[in-house]
Structure 1
Amino acid sequence: MADLPPTQDIDETHDCASQSTDSSKAWGRLLPLDRRFPSLELSNDFYTFGRGDDCSFKFVPDMFDGAAQFTTISKLHFKIVLDTLGDSPLVFIHDLSSNGTFVNGSKIGRNKKRPLNNNDEISVSLKNLKCYIFSDFSCACVSYPSEVTDKYTVSKHLGRGAFGEVRLAFDKEYCEKYAIKIVQKKNFSILSKFGKPFTGSVAAEVDILMRLDHPFIIQIYDVMDTPEALYMVLELVEGGELFDRIVSLGQLNELDSKFFFLQMAMAVEYLHNHGITHRDLKPENILLTSKADRCLIKVTDFGVSKLVDEGTMLRTFCGTPDYLAPEVLKTAGCGTYTCVIDVWSLGVILYICLVGYPPFTKQREDCDLETQIVKGLYDFPQNFWHGISQEAISLIKRMLVVDPSERSSINDVLKDPWLNNSEIQKEVQELINCANRISSSRRHHHHQHPQAQIVKPICPSLPDTVPPSVHSPEATNPFDTSSNNLTDLQSSHDSIHRQVIQESTDNVPVNDFKENVEPILTDKSVFRKKRPTLSSPIPVMTKSPRVFTPTDEGYSDEREIK
């Protein structure tokens, strides 16, 4: 354990000039809310406060109204810690007292912590015994509506996307981390070129989004609709984007591509089965749960596509339409199209995973990008594709079909021979089981939370031997290579989800998801109260459009592989 900063008695003169802290390295400041307290520069990793001699900053009787008030201060009352383990520092305040430490009037609780944000007020023993206001040198003051601040502490900036900002947030009860997407409504009317500004209630769409429960899809825990903005509270994922993984490696090998693509396809199938078309699938919207070579993925940003009108979506995402299906470009957002637009996008992503450059690009001189997409002008140059299996190439061809009626559905994709790999499926299942064990242990730690057992926020715990598919008339081993393992793996998730809800609702028979699960989940109070059970890890951020830049060799006139 690191040594404590030097102990300093604060005398009656409150002269801070002699402090040993180096103001040039300060990351924050405590500004006094009472003239009897000094201003304190914060430059070390942690500080302790109390009336004990070993504290970094020692409270003395003259700071309080009489001995009775002073004795309510613990020898070690609270500490402020700068956490530098992540990508950017976070500041936490830990309550170590018997009589309480308060931030903005809310008691932290003995041996509990909470993030300390810019302009937070610190009180000791009594909420009206205000000592300091915290000034964070790394950020400007941002205010949020009470609908947000009543439940969450909004912290550092994580990113900015087409519809707004993403910030780190903490649940006030358990100090669990989330990503909170802030979608400014004022942008919708500006971006919508078809005269459809974003107005009205979003409750129905929010209900749909918050019902989603799948191991490969970002969990939406809460959505707050205010007059100025939507605040979407999301699972936090800290492994980075698939885009960055591909860029850092140049490309993925075929087995790793299959490993990640399997998860993407299962996530999209789940969305389609629930009436949601993603509309913006791209490597930036595929997040990785860890930095490991093989990890679970989380598909994100499907929520915005559900809540934002068509014109706004098209105008926003067509700046770089590399992943858009031909029918979307042809109709300019005014026509109708089906969920197979997502299959096209998955085909583009798979192509990129395998060779590190896209099938359609502005780098091609003989044809502009939109023409390439609308006419389906792409190839498989031998010098890049010679080591890729014919099965993978054939799957891409079936996904990148211009005519949507001839294009493979997501169910067809999951049945494709290229994905029928028992070792890959087993590895994915083991990672799901591992994530669920972590989730279960955290639920047990906070067993007092009653809603945790009604609907599982991440995914039901799948046993080592997955039950037979509820959609299959015959029982099958989910990893039996003689059957369609992917369908079984997907449906076993739904099967156990139904079992969990059945056990939690007085043994109501559960035979069909639509008939029995959805009515249970329409109670919004369930979602507003439930606590996330897997504090995963960057969050759900969108970035400015980026493109893969291939070499000139990638667009040679070599004959397409047959």
Structure 2
Amino acid sequence: MSDSSEDEDWSDCEVDSDEETESIKFEQSNKKEEDNQNLKQVASIPWNPNPEAWGAFVSLVPKFPHVDLIGKVTFGRNSTCNHVINDERVSGFHCSVYRDINEKSDSPNPFYIKIIDNSSNGTYVNGTRLVKNEEKILFHADKISFIYSDINHTEPNPCYRFEDFYVLPPTHHCSDIEETYIIGETLGEGQFAQVKLVKDKETGIEYAMKIIDRSKYISLNNSIEANSSKIMNEVKVLKHIKHPNIVCVKDVYKNSVNLFLILELCQGGDLGQQIKQFGNYDETNSKIIFQQIMSAISYIHDKNIAHRDMKPENILLISQDNTTSIKLTDFGYSRFVSEVENKMYTYAGTVHYLAPEVIQDAQRGGYSKSCDIWSCGVILYYLLSGDLPFRDQNDEHMPTTTRIVKGKYTFGKKFNNISPAAKNLIRRCLTINPSHRITAKQALKHPWLTGESEKITDEFENVWIDRRTQRFNQISQKRNQNHNRFQLQNSRFKEQK
């Protein structure tokens, strides 16, 4: 009987629990709706951050203004406080916030931000009441509330989100991001962008947040078409690119100054750093990496997208333990190629990896997405040797761009033990005429990548080179004949005059 009675009691408990759960869900739903409405009102609070401020308390309640943090800031009801809050529930000297030097040399932030509670009714950080008269370190995006542990909708209380301007300057402010992500250290900086580590508050998953200065991006692209709306349109398309070897764009945000991309995080550094630190890859591992690169390039080319800035620094390693699994990143210079014209006209990319037609034809006949294949040929050369094929040589006073346009490179001693098939693929990528250059799809079927390297021997290579040289000589001869014919016709025309 006793067991039966206990079973019945548990059954009653479960019913009560379900009803209570439904009640909680209803309350949470209402609270979320109130919070969303509150945020809309907060967004309308006027705020122009003081340039001398090192941080801010961004108000989460429309009744209370935002607070710039300059020097040491005291909060309270007393008129001598830096920020006076006229509310009887707030103590005369409620709390103070200040910045202190962080002496840890390995810290990404050179400052500590500290808060001290001096109140009767309490100061809360992320819902936890502070111990009175004891220092507490604040972190960017912490939630600070007075009197209650959270926003009280019936009796509005001061509630703020702390913004550390060292971590996130005012121009980088975007409330939607800070509602979803915890913003961490700076991972890197470029000409027009900064990359920060962020963590999803709900899942705990880490991402890389790329902050793009839109005005700098437009000026560096040197294009009338590169306006803000065009940037957004291009990014939206990139957001839908799904490929195992391309960094995924999870979210896109913007404010009046910047564009924010939430990107898949790769923690192994980039291919350029890896080769500089540990030297070139062997042929087996180079093949594994290059196959992934070609797979990604083939995918974007099928979608009429050209990367336009292919280089080792834009090839990320998934982790430090896995140095052969890669993802392409930084589509900052990418361009959607018109299916009608199939040409691009703006100069983009990094000089050692530029295709000849980009150097020569950017402002004339334009160039196609085949420019990516040339860059990939340079990358493969670098993978196998640790050297760049068109680097200025000591024995020749020839600029890099001239060497590229002439296709002037050699396979040095480091290639003595590299297979003819690998060298053949490099040559096919570094073909001067883009219409004769191998495509990404063709490269994926090349014997070196399909495991049929034996099909390409030194003898085959010599024949292939002879044929290419012969073809080049034929074209040059024809051009000379045409030139001579033109000169003859021109001289006859002058004689007739």
Equivalent residue number for residue 149 of structure 2: 125
* Residue 332 (structure 1) shift: 2.6
Asked if 1:405 is matched to 2:435, the reply is yes
Query: In 1, distance between residues paired with 2:180 and 2:361?
Result: 42
Equivalent residue number for residue 63 of structure 1: 119
Asked if 1:392 is matched to 2:414, the reply is no
Asked if 1:243 is matched to 2:291, the reply is no
* Residue 358 (structure 1) shift: 0.6
TM-score by length of 2: 0.59
Cα RMSD after superposing both structures? 4.0
Query: In 2, distance between residues paired with 1:165 and 1:137?
Result: 14
Which of 409, 416, 426 is the equivalent residue of 1:378? 409
The SS at the match of 1:179 is: strand
Query: In 1, distance between residues paired with 2:240 and 2:295?
Result: 17
Query: In 1, distance between residues paired with 2:361 and 2:139?
Result: 47
Query: In 2, distance between residues paired with 1:357 and 1:377?
Result: 15
The SS at the match of 1:174 is: coil
Equivalent AA in structure 2 for residue 209 of structure 1: L
Conservation of the 8 A alpha-carbon contact between 1:311 and 1:334: no
* Residue 400 (structure 1) shift: 0.5
Which of 367, 382, 385 is the equivalent residue of 1:352? 382
Conservation of the 8 A alpha-carbon contact between 2:173 and 2:255: no
C-alpha distance after superposition, 1:350-405 (max 9, x if no partner): 00010110100134533211111111111112x22111111111111111100011
* Aligned 1:447-526 pairs, distance under 5 A: none
Equivalent residue number for residue 314 of structure 1: 347
* Residue 42 (structure 1) shift: 9.8
Larger Rg over CA atoms? 2
Equivalent residue number for residue 366 of structure 1: 397
Equivalent residue number for residue 286 of structure 1: 315
Equivalent AA in structure 2 for residue 240 of structure 1: G
Conservation of the 8 A alpha-carbon contact between 1:31 and 1:133: no
Query: In 2, distance between residues paired with 1:163 and 1:392?
Result: 36
Query: In 1, distance between residues paired with 2:426 and 2:128?
Result: 59
Equivalent residue number for residue 300 of structure 1: 329
* Residue 304 (structure 1) shift: 4.5
CA distance 1:192–1:413, change in 2 (3 Å)? closer
CA distance 1:327–1:130, change in 2 (3 Å)? same
Asked if 1:212 is matched to 2:241, the reply is yes
CA distance 1:187–1:312, change in 2 (3 Å)? farther
C-alpha distance after superposition, 1:390-427 (max 9, x if no partner): 111111111110001111011111001111249xxxxx
Higher helix proportion, which one? Answer: 2
* Residue 155 (structure 1) shift: 3.2
* Residue 194 (structure 1) shift: 5.1
Equivalent residue number for residue 33 of structure 2: none
* Aligned 1:414-429 pairs, distance under 5 A: 414-421=444-451
* Aligned 1:111-190 pairs, distance under 5 A: 117-118=139-140, 120-123=142-145, 125-127=149-151, 139=167, 141-142=169-170, 143-190=172-219
C-alpha distance after superposition, 1:305-350 (max 9, x if no partner): 24899999626x3xx4111111111113553322211111111000
C-alpha distance after superposition, 1:255-274 (max 9, x if no partner): 11111111111111111122
The SS at the match of 2:397 is: coil
Equivalent AA in structure 1 for residue 401 of structure 2: E
Equivalent residue number for residue 361 of structure 2: 331
* Residue 225 (structure 1) shift: 4.0
Query: In 1, distance between residues paired with 2:345 and 2:361?
Result: 14
Conservation of the 8 A alpha-carbon contact between 1:343 and 1:399: yes
* Residue 168 (structure 1) shift: 2.0
Conservation of the 8 A alpha-carbon contact between 2:74 and 2:95: yes
CA distance 1:325–1:163, change in 2 (3 Å)? same
Conservation of the 8 A alpha-carbon contact between 2:223 and 2:346: no
Between Structure 1 and Structure 2, how many residues are aligned?
Answer: 342
Equivalent AA in structure 1 for residue 257 of structure 2: E
CA distance 1:380–1:304, change in 2 (3 Å)? closer
Query: In 1, distance between residues paired with 2:316 and 2:274?
Result: 10
CA distance 1:225–1:125, change in 2 (3 Å)? closer
The SS at the match of 1:314 is: coil
